[in-house]
Structure 1
Amino acid sequence: MPVRDRSLTEQVHDALCEMLLGGSMRPLDRTSIRDLAERLGVSAMPVRDAVSRLVAQGALVVERNRAITVKLLSAEEFRDLTETRILLEREVVYKAVQRVTPEALATIEDIHARFEHAMSDPSVPDAVQLNKQFHFNIYEMAGSPTLLHLTSINWLKAGPMINLDLGLPSRRQRNALSVSAHRGMMEGLRNGDPQAAADAVERDIRGTFKFILENRLNIKNGEE
């Protein structure tokens, strides 16, 4: 395959990942190769290749009629993914606090301030994107490509579930939990306290799981 085609496939894969992580593709959403190709302004081949990768990563499902759906995790799948995320993300946050620079901290402070504003004002549509930016700006500071890769794959599976409620005006309890956890992560970063930051990211992940399981979805059998 020519280098140009490989590059285009990578770009399409990245675009689909952003759609999954950013909230524009949600559990049980249905689409097709043609629809995605038209949406991204490319031919069907790179979309097909990118979708195949995401199916292998567990983020998408291709049905018998060739419709592409975002996987809705069962309660047990979501619980298992949550525990795996906690193990990985505690470690990556712990490492990040040990490597934070003043410049990186200033960037994260800005994202955190914009996230809090978005969560407090229903008219601001950027909460989902800012949540992702906040977490991954921290995770990238850990300096571990392997941990970052594994974390990214888990987010592709968890992101659509997380984004079911994040930022919706009626989800004040969930919003308050997210803001509180992010503040805890910021305190850990500012004070050079990796344990506090790791505890805060665990609260964020566990709180998200509990809220979605109890308040947003009936996913005991993988159904909405």
Structure 2
Amino acid sequence: MNETAISKLPVRDRSLTEQVHDALCEMLLGGSMRPQDRTSIRELAEKLGVSAMPVRDAVSRLVAQGALVVERNRAITVKLLSAEEFRDLTEIRILLEREAVRKAVERVTPETLAVLEEINARFEEAMSDPSAPDAVQLNQQFHFRLYEAAGSPTLLHLTTINWLKAGPMINLDLGLPSRRQRNALSVSAHRAMMDGLRNGDPQAAADAVECDIRGAFEFILENTLKTKN
């Protein structure tokens, strides 16, 4: 994140723990916390400008959700999934996210479509420039704005939990200059999703999100997990 995430969160009607939890989720989803990164309650509290207690509570929630791991020395790490764990998570993501995209096609408004167009244009620009720092964040924004358009809080909640575990893995390679093939596939899949939305074609849009997910999985499996596991 470019600035302290917690400062961006609305204070009214939200506990400090919820704000910290959301800030840590953004760090996981947005690429600033990656697999095997190590930190501590103290470091996170200093970074977010809060006391240790709400950080400890938020970390406990993320540990229960499978996004973080607390080691015996109390170090907090982002789990590097095994190939089999990543494969299983990918298949569940495909089931949920295909359904989210289908629903989004049926319910998307012209206003939301315009927002998605704008985000995707910025994403394509970032992916064409390896030095651009925000490709990961724009990818996340595009997907979640699309899934929000489905109008299903339950589906969005389940998708978010899976992204908290998958996000750091997805972000291992996205936007790096050595990953042009994967970048091109992601750009193509996003365009196909947008085409499905514009044309009112839920099957085409769902196929495109599956292509995006599977392409990332296969690339990371071949180029990253084989060297790290």
Same fold (TM over 0.5): yes
Which residue of 2, 6, 9 maps to 2:17? 9
Q: Percent of pairs identical after alignment?
A: 87
Does the 8 Å CA contact 1:166/1:175 hold for their aligned counterparts? Answer: yes
What is the TM-score with the length of structure 1 in the denominator? Answer: 0.95
Q: Which residue of 2 aligns with 1:198?
A: 206
* Residue 75 (str. 1) matches residue 83 (str. 2): yes
Alpha-carbon spacing, 1:118–1:4, altered in 2? closer, same or farther (3 Å): closer
Displaced runs of 4+ in structure 1, greater than 6 A?
Answer: 3-6
Measure the CA separation in 1 of the matches of 2:26 and 2:102: 25
* Residue 60 (str. 1) matches residue 68 (str. 2): yes
Q: Which residue of 2 aligns with 1:22?
A: 30
* Residue 31 (str. 1) matches residue 44 (str. 2): no
CA offsets per residue over residues 114-149 of structure 1, 9 Å max, x none?
Answer: 000000012221100000000011000101000000
Q: Which residue of 2 aligns with 1:95?
A: 103
Q: Which residue of 2 aligns with 1:127?
A: 135
Measure the CA separation in 1 of the matches of 2:12 and 2:183: 43
Q: Which residue of 1 aligns with 2:6?
A: none
Measure the CA separation in 1 of the matches of 2:119 and 2:74: 39
Measure the CA separation in 1 of the matches of 2:169 and 2:216: 9
Q: Which residue of 1 aligns with 2:177?
A: 169
Measure the CA separation in 2 of the matches of 1:90 and 1:5: 33
Does the 8 Å CA contact 1:118/1:124 hold for their aligned counterparts? Answer: yes
SS in 1 for 2:177: coil
CA offsets per residue over residues 67-125 of structure 1, 9 Å max, x none?
Answer: 00000000110000000000000000000000011111000000010000000012221
SS in 2 for 1:69: strand
Task: In structure 2, give the amino acid aligned to 1:95.
Answer: K
Task: In structure 1, give the amino acid aligned to 2:180.
Answer: R
Measure the CA separation in 2 of the matches of 1:123 and 1:55: 33
Task: In structure 2, give the amino acid aligned to 1:102.
Answer: P
Measure the CA separation in 2 of the matches of 1:139 and 1:42: 31
Task: In structure 1, give the amino acid aligned to 2:51.
Answer: S
Shift of 1:169: 1.0
Does the 8 Å CA contact 2:83/2:225 hold for their aligned counterparts? Answer: no
Q: Which residue of 2 aligns with 1:141?
A: 149
* Residue 152 (str. 1) matches residue 160 (str. 2): yes
How many residues are paired up? Answer: 219
Measure the CA separation in 2 of the matches of 1:203 and 1:87: 12
Task: In structure 1, give the amino acid aligned to 2:225.
Answer: L
Alpha-carbon spacing, 1:81–1:124, altered in 2? closer, same or farther (3 Å): same
Shift of 1:31: 0.4
Return 5+ residue gaps in structure 2 as ranges.
Answer: 1-10
Q: Which residue of 1 aligns with 2:188?
A: 180
Measure the CA separation in 1 of the matches of 2:66 and 2:23: 17
Measure the CA separation in 2 of the matches of 1:167 and 1:4: 36
Does the 8 Å CA contact 1:5/1:46 hold for their aligned counterparts? Answer: no
Shift of 1:6: 6.5
